[in-house]
Amino acid sequence: MKNLIIGIIVLLVLWLILPLFNINPSYLIPNVIEWATKFILPWIVLYWIIRLIKNLEKI
């Protein structure tokens, strides 16, 4: 729950700060989230699957 609140606060701060630098947050934030789910999330899932397999082999 704490991580969710921190994530929401970070997104809100970005939403308020980015217009100061003439960056459209309505375009940037969803694209960054989409990019992260396409390229970063699969590697995180792969890491945890490998850890699961290693733990199952020890048993």
Which residues form the domain of 34?
25-59
pTM of the predicted structure, to 2 decimals:
0.60
Q: Is the pLDDT of residue 29 over 90?
A: no
Rounded CA separation 54/36 (Å) = 26
For range 32-53, the mean pLDDT: 95
User: How many domains are contained in the chain?
Assistant: 1
Rounded CA separation 42/39 (Å) = 6
Residue 9 lies in a domain: no
Q: Is the pLDDT of residue 40 over 90?
A: yes
Residue 37 lies in a domain: yes
Helices (H), the chain: 2-17, 25-35, 41-58
Residue 14 lies in a domain: no
Task: Provide the 8-state DSSP code for 36.
Answer: I
